[in-house]
Amino acid sequence: MTQSDEALAMETWLSQPHGGPEGSVTPPLFQTSLFTFDDFASFEARMAGHSDRALYTRVQNPTVAAFETAMARLEGGAAAVGFASGMGAISSTLFALLKPGDRVACVEHVYPDAFRLFEQVLRPWGVEITYHAPRAFAENPELLDGVTLAYLESPNSSMMEVTDLGATAEHARRHGVLTVIDNSWATPVFQRPLEQGIDVVLHSASKYISGHSDTVAGVVISSDEIIAKLRGLTLPLFGAKLAPFEAWLLVRGLRTLPARMREHQRTADIFVDRLSSRSEVAKVRSPGPNSVPGLTGRSGLMSVEFTDAVDIPRFADALKHFRLGVSWGGFESLVVPAAITLKQAGPKNSAQHFGVPERLVRLSLGLEDVEDLWRDIERALDTATA
Ligand SMILES: *Cc1c(COP(=O)(O)O)cnc(C)c1O
Q: Which of 254, 287, 320 is the last residue of a domain?
A: 254
Residue 319: strand, helix, or coil: coil
Residue 190: domain span: 14-254
For residue 339, the model assigns a pLDDT of 85
Q: How many domains does the chain have?
A: 2
Residues 6+ apart with CB under 8 A from 306: 280, 281, 282, 312, 315, 359, 361
Q: Same domain, yes or no, for 271 and 248?
A: no
How far does the centroid of ligand 1 lie from the alpha carbon of residue 220, in Å?
13
Q: Same domain, yes or no, for 211 and 272?
A: no
Q: Which of 254, 276, 300 is the last residue of a domain?
A: 254
- Nearest Cα residue to 246 out of 269, 265, 218, 287: 218
- Using the atom order of ligand 1, give the atom closest to the CA of residue 88: 9
305 Cβ closer than 6 Å to some ligand 1 atom: no
Residue 341 domain flag: yes
Nearest CA to ligand 1 atom 8: 86
329 Cβ closer than 6 Å to some ligand 1 atom: no
92 Cβ closer than 6 Å to some ligand 1 atom: no
The angle subtended at Cα 261 by Cα 255 and Cα 267, nearest 5°, is: 140
How far does the centroid of ligand 1 lie from the alpha carbon of residue 279, in Å?
33
Beta strands in 33-78 (DSSP E): none
| Other beta carbons within 10 Å of 278 | 17
Q: Same domain, yes or no, for 357 and 308?
A: yes
How far does the centroid of ligand 1 lie from the alpha carbon of residue 300, in Å?
16
Residues 6+ apart with CB under 8 A from 102: 127, 128, 148, 149
Residue 50 domain flag: yes
Q: Same domain, yes or no, for 205 and 347?
A: no
Residue 146 domain flag: yes
Q: Same domain, yes or no, for 302 and 227?
A: no
How far does the centroid of ligand 1 lie from the alpha carbon of residue 291, in Å?
23
How far does the centroid of ligand 1 lie from the alpha carbon of residue 229, in Å?
22
Q: Which of 254, 280, 313 is the last residue of a domain?
A: 254
Question: In sequence order, what DSSP letters do the residues of 178-241 get, joined into one string?
Answer: EEEEE-TTTHHHH--GGGGT-SEEEEETTTTTT-SS----EEEEE-HHHHHHHHHTHHHHH--B
- Mark the ranges of the chain whose per-residue pLDDT is less than 70: 1-6
Q: Same domain, yes or no, for 113 and 21?
A: yes
